[in-house]
A and B are shown apart, each in its own frame.
Chain A
Amino acid sequence: MAQVEKYYLPDDFYYDRKEHVWARIENGRVRVGIDMFAQQSAGTIAYIKMLPVGRTVRKGRAFGSIEAGKYIGPVKSPVNGRLAEVNQNVLDTPKLINDDPYGEGWLVVIEPSNLEEDLTDLVHGAEEIEVWLEAELKEYREKGLIEEDD
């Protein structure tokens, strides 16, 4: 498990740098969710919408959206492929994303179509994750986007 300040990120997952979406490889399929930084930035998630099973998803394109407070944001796929599973529990109880972002709060499982290539630009491994998130938090502080003590 990698840790940067108050944020924990499992180091065997892959992460999209800009979207803060995680991907875990499971027997050739990809389980997807949003990481701790993304869910804490959004706040308590009240609603979630996702494309149905069977739909094609494209890397970098939205497969769903989340609503927290009065904020709406897209959730973008880290890989190309087809939606094999959608987490019904998280549709019924969106707060699972806040409570357990890497476990019960997973969003979808994707049958990837080009996995090896799609993984190349994702962050992976404890050291790489820490370097990425530390740099990102530093940049946000410098831009005044997050409070000094947050």
Chain B
Amino acid sequence: MELGGVEPLHSQTIYHAVCHGVSSGAPDTLIILHPGAPYVCIGYHQELDKEVDVAYCERSGIPIYRRQVGGGAVYLDSDQIFFQLVVHRDRARGPVEQFAARVLEAPVRTYRQLGIDAYHRPVNDICVGDRKISGTGMARIEEAVVLVGNIIFDFNYDAMVRVLQVSSEKLRDKVYSSLRQYLTTTKRELGRDVPRDEVQRSLVRNFSDVLSAEFSSGDLTDYEVQKLKALDRLFLSKQWLYSADRRSSAVRAVKIRDGAVVSEVEHKSRGGLIRMTLSRVDGKIADVAISGDFLLGDHLDELEQQLRGKRFVEAELARTVNSFYRAHDVKMPLTEPMDFVHCILKAS
């Protein structure tokens, strides 16, 4: 089903309805569409108030929907194309990672046909170098498995960080810079716009090839239309949107891509509070900003610098902080080197 621009709500509820249809005997279905207007979408297990600045979204007229798929809060708009593949679970059993690898070969080929050297980064990101260029997610809904993802033509980084609920502006700034660094688009990679219909045709062809399937155009079945109406009501209900399932965590973290997370962590030493905004990329500290109830003056920048590139390994971090304490003859008996180490490890 190539549906073009649809209402934001339907860009989510249609594939949920098709999952019900496929569970009841409808054929496996590939849906390609894009939302006609911006919205925010949160993961199935996320707690809305903790992830999204709901008041800001309401003031700005940006709707928020909860999908029945994993992952985090995302800002979505018409600068993307969504692909949504729904198959009966009998054709998607076994390891999730292997299914994702097989299916995501299709959008990877599309990116490559555009001249972008994309690759599948397990479990389910598509990247160019160390930058993510497509976010995807999977779910089993009834007897169907759905894999959803997007081709990102352009991305409104400002809007994305603005809709997130963050514990400080420092964290917001760090999320913004990490998004700029680790999330890219076709426009950034190619320096030009790409024709939407060309991408659409390429996706259909590539999904057909990797699945060894012949697609024929189709519409929602009567059953799926009925389900869609019910799902629209469900997705618009406060009960569904606010259902708080994900357990709260003391760590505030925003995932940029698989392996890249920005977090804000705190640790209470006997001398007072230590706060850090940390970027963790592929197991290492990519960046860190430290603040708190201690006096290190100009040396703080140096400690931050020395921690960059270090792995989240207690012994390695302890060596670095101990060496810093010795080099500057730091006298903070109530805030010991291991207090900094324990704070960092909270983000690991």
Contacts and interface: CB of A to CB of B under 8 A. Distances in A.
Interface of A: 40-43, 47, 49, 65, 67-74, 91-92, 140, 143-147, 150
Contacts of B93: 41, 140, 143, 145
Contacts of A65: 44-45
Interface string B10-43: 0000000000000000000000000000000001
Contacts of B71: 70
What are the 9 A-B residue pairs with the smallest beta carbon separation, nearest first? A69-B123, A70-B137, A145-B94, A146-B94, A70-B70, A73-B140, A70-B71, A72-B139, A49-B245
Given A71-B138, A72-B140, A140 B94 contact: yes
A92 B246 CA distance: 11
A91 to B, nearest CB: 7
Given A41-B94, A42-B96, A49-B245, A72 B123 contact: no
B69 A72 contact: yes
Nearest to B122: A69
B136 interface: yes
A134 B96 CA distance: 19
Interface string B283-315: 000000000000000000000000000000000
Contact of B68 (A40, A72, A92, A140): A72
Q: Name the interface size band of chain B.
A: 20 to 34
A73 B139 CA distance: 6
Contacts of A140: 93-94
Main secondary structure of the interface of A (DSSP, over half): mixed
Contacts of B258: 69
A68 B44 contact: no
A64 to B, nearest CB: 10
A67 B123 CA distance: 13
A69 B98 CA distance: 13
A145 B45 contact: no
A147 B98 contact: yes
Contacts of A147: 98
Nearest to A47: B45
Contacts of A41: 93-96
Interface of B: 43-45, 68-71, 91-99, 102, 123-124, 136-140, 245-247, 258
Contact of B70 (A40, A69, A92, A150): A69
A49 B70 CA distance: 12
Contact of B95 (A47, A72, A91, A150): A150
Contacts of A73: 139-140
Nearest to A69: B123
A51 to B, nearest CB: 11
A129 B124 CA distance: 32
Given A42-B96, A71-B139, 14 more contacts: A41-B96, A43-B95, A43-B96, A43-B123, A47-B245, A67-B43, A69-B258, A70-B138, A71-B124, A72-B139, A144-B102, A146-B95, A147-B98, A150-B98
Contact of A67 (B45, B95, B98, B124): B45
Contacts of A69: 70, 96-97, 123-124, 138, 258
Nearest to A41: B95
B137 A71 contact: yes
Contact of B123 (A40, A70, A74): A70
A74 B142 CA distance: 8
Given A43-B97, A72-B70, A91-B247, A143 B91 contact: yes
19 contacts: A40-B95, A43-B95, A43-B123, A67-B43, A67-B45, A69-B70, A69-B138, A70-B71, A70-B136, A70-B138, A72-B43, A72-B139, A73-B140, A74-B140, A92-B247, A144-B102, A145-B98, A146-B95, A147-B98
